[in-house]
A and B are shown apart, each in its own frame.
Chain A
Amino acid sequence: MSIYFTKEHEWAKVSGNLALVGISEHAAHELGDVTFVELPPVGKQVKQGEVVAAIESVKAASDIYAPLSGKVVRVNSVLDEAPEQVNESPEQAAWMLEIELGDPAETGSLMSKEQYDAYLKTL
């Protein structure tokens, strides 16, 4: 399994042709208390960079962009009733959706953990 990050602070954990998607610790901290997560319908086709979900905190509302193209095959519906999990465990328990990858080569345009940590230091 490999983990990748986007500049918009999503992460993608890729194993085989599947990728779990969520938001980074940094993004969860910046948002503050998460109060709502909008998940896509299972079966939805998404392109890399398209809006695939939405997240709201007390302070702000933001879109979640698909880090990779493909078909949504699973969503974490626990977040419907317990969106605070995004603050408690943004990079583990609070995964948001799983994508069956259309083009695994797209990971080449994402950042590694080290690159993402370096990117955060520039913000």
Chain B
Amino acid sequence: MAEPCDTLLVSPLNQQHRALGALMAPFGGWDMPIQYEGIIAEHRWCREQAALFDICHMGEFLFKGDIRASGLEDLFTFSVAAIPVGRSKYGFLLNEQGGIIDDLIVFRFAEQEAMIVVNAATAPHDFQVIRSRLSGGELVNISAATAKLDLQGPESRAVLTAICGEQAARLPYFRFISLDLLGVPTIVSRTGYTGELGYEIFLPTGKVVELWERLLSDQRVKPAGLGARDLLRLEVGYSLYGSDIDEETTPLEAGLEGFVNFGKRFVGKEALLQQQAAGVAKRKIAFTVNSRRAPRHGYQIQAGGCTIGEVTSGVFSPMLGCGIGLGYVDSAYAASGTVLTVCQDRVSLAATVCGLPFYTGGSLRS
């Protein structure tokens, strides 16, 4: 197994992953586990039991100050001021052109305190952008001091109850609580990236090995890598930043306008309003193919022999038994039921545009 190169960041759980025989690879600038037992076995375990993911690579920023006076309220496509304490919200940080700088979740800790959770690869840039747009308050990058574990799957509530008690385990979707776990302040949040009932747990980096081992000592829990995580998120149609959304795409093109509040100010709003008035030229679609063969990132999407778009994510879905994908096409071809061709070199697949999620059987809302 190759050693991580000097420039990669290393999770505090790196030794644990190597001891478990994980296949490691670079992701977002980090040396992360892609798989342990195997992607499909880990995927199934998450859909049926409870899977534990090391998500220490993601970035966390802590904001303290007046949310409106500091300008934090005008930073994202949703209102931070409107998030009740103890709840979180998903949305976007945009550039002036309406392009997505990052997708993120804001956790409202207190009247004048919030945590912003961002993608790993974009974290340094996000921090610069957010700080440059704030006119007050205090923003601290707490990524290095903050560890994150995701516990996901239908059994995750029972597992968490045994460790944290009923109150944490009974959290409704997009709510969190602060509690003492292993003697340190911990945030348990009812959120995730798999389409299953699950939790994201934030705690001081120094305690993450202990929590990792404690969770894995439960027979219902197995570790899962970023390979399974990508498969799980794609089956429920969640976008992956850097593949399905980036600075060249807007929330309107990505079909994510539900996470944009046009009733408030935010950077990029004018561009989105113009795009909305003119109509979007390209749209993100979801599609299934009539084969076990997977569409893959970069494959062309054609209609009537003409290229009308490109695949941004694709995989074989064990739950559907066929290839599934996301991509962008000329808006004229984005309607559900439209039959398209996905191709690359010798591969040609009949694809049908469909709605999301692909997989509807998850325990997310249970």
A residues apposed to B, CB below 8 Å: 32-33, 35-36, 38, 51, 54, 56, 58-59, 61, 83-84, 87
Q: Cβ of B40 and Cβ of A36 under 8 Å apart?
A: no
CB distance from A113 to the nearest CB of B (A): 24
Cβ of B296 within 8 Å of any chain A Cβ, yes or no, is yes
A32 contacts across to B, CB distance below 8 A: 23, 35, 38-39, 227
Known: A33-B39, A35-B316, A59-B227. 19 other contacts (CB 8 A): A32-B23, A32-B227, A33-B38, A35-B40, A35-B318, A36-B291, A36-B293, A36-B294, A54-B346, A56-B293, A58-B40, A58-B294, A58-B315, A59-B34, A59-B39, A61-B296, A61-B347, A83-B292, A84-B40
Cβ of B231 within 8 Å of any chain A Cβ, yes or no, is yes
User: Closest residue to A61 on the B side, CB-wise?
Assistant: B296
Q: Which 3 A-B pairs have the closest CB atoms?
A: A35-B316, A36-B292, A33-B40
Interface centre among B34, B38, B231, B291 (most CB of A within 10 A): B38
Of the four ranges (under 10, 10 to 19, 20 to 34, 35 or more), the interface on chain B belongs to 10 to 19
Does more than half of chain B's interface fall in helix, strand or loop, or is it mixed?
mixed
B294 contacts across to A, CB distance below 8 A: 35-36, 56, 58, 61
CA distance A87 to B23 in the complex (A): 16
A38 contacts across to B, CB distance below 8 A: 293
Q: Cβ of B231 and Cβ of A58 under 8 Å apart?
A: yes
A36 contacts across to B, CB distance below 8 A: 291-294, 316
CA distance A58 to B38 in the complex (A): 10
CA distance A33 to B231 in the complex (A): 12
User: Closest residue to B318 on the A side, CB-wise?
Assistant: A35
A interface footprint on B1-42 (CB within 8 Å = 1, 0 otherwise): 000000000000000000000010000000000110011110
Interface centre among B41, B293, B315 (most CB of A within 10 A): B293
